[in-house]
A and B are shown apart, each in its own frame.
Chain A
């Protein structure tokens, strides 16, 4: 079974802190994704990566950056957390084939005070 793990299920940070959200997948998938989920808005893509050291902006990249130094790990970075970044963050991975489904991690619920 594909396994996507995220470093924390719940996280509380203060405004202005630098926040790292880690995601690891164990199936050698090429593509990895970071989404945020907010009520009434569904999932919105923040960033994605189609290969090591490669990244592309998604629909809402402002205030975020990412890092993919190894194929299995994709990190989301909030350089200076703000209260409007309080949300559920979901990581996903996908093989490089067109049409394949994405496999999701359990999510990190981040609260910024």
Chain B
């Protein structure tokens, strides 16, 4: 069975602070994919990043960066110099390999509030 755990239920920071959202996953598959999605107040989930299990390179996209470590089964997300527009619910998700037809297992979500 697959499982995704996001340690923080809610995080509150002040603008320009750096913030890290933790994600730990469990799977028996050797091939799998990890995702981060953002859900702003409008409600629609927005795709942020995908990582496959064979690519442990960290990734940076503007103020966003992701740290994937297979040894600890973690895929953490850092926002540098946070802004009010970053306020949203963030979900980490896992798709196993095989014929799972893209079924995603989501974490519980982390509510991030960035105060001006």
Contact = CB atoms under 8 A, between A and B. Distances in A.
| Interface of A: prevailing SS | strand
B43 A50 contact: no
Interface string B32-69: 01010100001111110010100000000000000000
Interface string A94-113: 10001111111111010000
A88 interface: yes
B45 A104 contact: yes
Given A35-B106, A43-B91, A50-B101, 5 more contacts: A42-B4, A42-B107, A99-B95, A105-B44, A109-B43
A102 to B, nearest CB: 6
Query: Looking at chain A, what size class is its interface with the partner chain?
Result: 20 to 34
A88 B102 contact: no
B27 to A, nearest CB: 14
A102 B106 contact: no
Interface in A41-72: 41-45, 48, 50, 56, 58
